[in-house]
Structure 1
Amino acid sequence: MGLNLNNSFLLLLSCIILAISLPVSGRPATFLEDFQVTWSDSHIKQLDGGRTIQLVLDQNSGCGFASKRKYLFGRVSMKIKLVPGDSAGTVTAFYLNSDTDTVRDELDFEFLGNRSGQPYTVQTNVFAHGKGDREQRVNLWFDPSQDFHDYQIRWNHKEIVFLVDDTPIRVYKNNEAKNVPYPKSQPMGVYSTLWEADDWATRGGLEKIDWSKAPFLAYYKDFDIEGCAVPGPADCASNPRNWWEGTAYQGLNALEARRYRWVRMNHMIYDYCTDKSRYPVPPPECTAGI
């Protein structure tokens, strides 16, 4: 019995030491532990004891929320159930933003509403040191309004990966060697909004929002932030022991690479890299591959 108690004590002590040594924040139990409403409190409802959030868009207002802290490198994921039915003209966004003006960094998921029966489009964009205009669009291969799906942004010194249900849909590599800016010095907050953008969101603004279908509802749950919180330990962001900096996350593994090619071959509908009207010469980061 004494030996078992000693072993149990040692195991508990090891867990405590490990927890203290990890310079990251983990999954909160409820929305309000890590997030706060930033726009139209009356349009955001907490469900299931704060574990699920409902965002509401009507003719009066959209709404939004943001993390209480900013983070430098790591992984952020949320499970989202998007606006069902005729959602044309609506945009549900999940993104990271440095909240700085001329040199802002930003990593975007924007879900563009549709007319009933058409595929949902997700637009991603990367802003680095104030430079954006790097849009890519993918038609989702499932109906994201019928159930929750996981949307994730993985960010380290080598690359940024956007994932849908663990399938990469976009990779943005660190190409500073080619004089391409890369977000690595500004911490970013985690944001989400539901708003009206029928001047551009659906078929370039041709499809307008049908307010008779309002209110438009989106749902969020399983908020997961693992990263270097700011303010926090100054050496966290440069710590090579952070799991997201490990060799397994320096590039896509074989399965991820195969899924990534499948998405790009079968579901990508726009890529700024191949838009010759905007970029007669492709930007240098476009030749990086995966």
Structure 2
Amino acid sequence: MDFHPWVIMVIALISFKIFFLFNNALRNTGFNENYTVTLGNQHVLFLNQGREVQLSLDRSSGAGFQSKEYFGSGYFQMRIKLPDKDSAGVVTAFYISTTTNSYGTDTKLYTVHLPLVANDGGRSKANYSNVPFQAHFRDFNIDGCPSIPTNPNKECHSTKYWWNGKKYNHLNPNQLKAYENVRKKYMTYDYCADRRRYPTPPPECIR
């Protein structure tokens, strides 16, 4: 299985913004170490002794998985190979979501999600003559600060964690140029700009 030589890495910082950096994978961690299947168990195939996962989408179901733990901050990465067929209307995503403030604290915790589903906001119809659609995922390493909603770990924003250092607060000019180039060439939807669906932008969209 061939993967693109660079990967997009996501850093969640105290400012609750997400930054994209280009770098090499740390190590090819097995799936079960950090993740669990949350959707379509029968559409998940483990390969290479659990170091690679294939998600499939057909007419009956898609598939997805998420991190086992909550994190107060951290460094998250994934190598993704998208479906190789005409996959208009099919969404393969890698995103971080936050918990609601239902425990009386002002701390936001993160979980990492990776679904393969059929809908891109209704703009394209999935061509089911091409099923199954298959996406592949590798490098399941998480370098994060675990925390739980009922007892948030206040050290997660400490500078003892390298991703909280000043070096990672901003993209350098080359990284920013590469990021903008990817957005311009490949991004088809930005939910932060979708005022019809989100009249009030989600918290992570506010800069």
SS at match of 1:219: strand
1:130-164 Cα offsets, whole Å, 9 max, x none, are xxxxxxxxxxxxxxxxxxxxxxxxxxxxxxxxxxx
1:20-51 Cα offsets, whole Å, 9 max, x none, are xxxxxx86731011111111211101000000
In structure 2, do the counterparts of structure 1 residues 245 and 90 end up closer, same or farther at CA, with 3 Å as the change threshold? same
SS at match of 2:160: coil
Q: Which amino acid aligns with 2:174?
A: L
| TM-score w.r.t. length of structure 2 | 0.69
Instruction: Report the CA distance between 1:236 and its aligned residue.
Output: 2.4
**Mapped partners of 2:125, 2:152: distance in 1:** 48
1:242 has 2:161 as partner:
yes
**Mapped partners of 1:95, 1:260: distance in 2:** 16
Q: How does 1:44-193 map to 2 (within 5 A)?
A: 44-100=44-100, 185-193=107-115
Task: Return 5+ residue gaps in structure 1 as ranges.
Answer: 1-25, 105-183, 279-284
Alignment match, 2:117: 195
- The aligned length equals 172
Instruction: Report the CA distance between 1:258 and its aligned residue.
Output: 3.4
Please tell me whether the aligned partners of residues 146 and 153 of structure 2 are also in contact (alpha carbons under 8 angstroms): no
Q: Which amino acid aligns with 1:34?
A: N
In structure 2, do the counterparts of structure 1 residues 235 and 194 end up closer, same or farther at CA, with 3 Å as the change threshold? same
**Mapped partners of 1:38, 1:56: distance in 2:** 14
**Mapped partners of 2:166, 2:79: distance in 1:** 26
**Mapped partners of 2:112, 2:157: distance in 1:** 20
Alignment match, 1:223: 140
In structure 2, do the counterparts of structure 1 residues 28 and 36 end up closer, same or farther at CA, with 3 Å as the change threshold? farther
Task: Return 5+ residue gaps in structure 2 as ranges.
Answer: 1-25, 198-203
SS at match of 1:227: strand
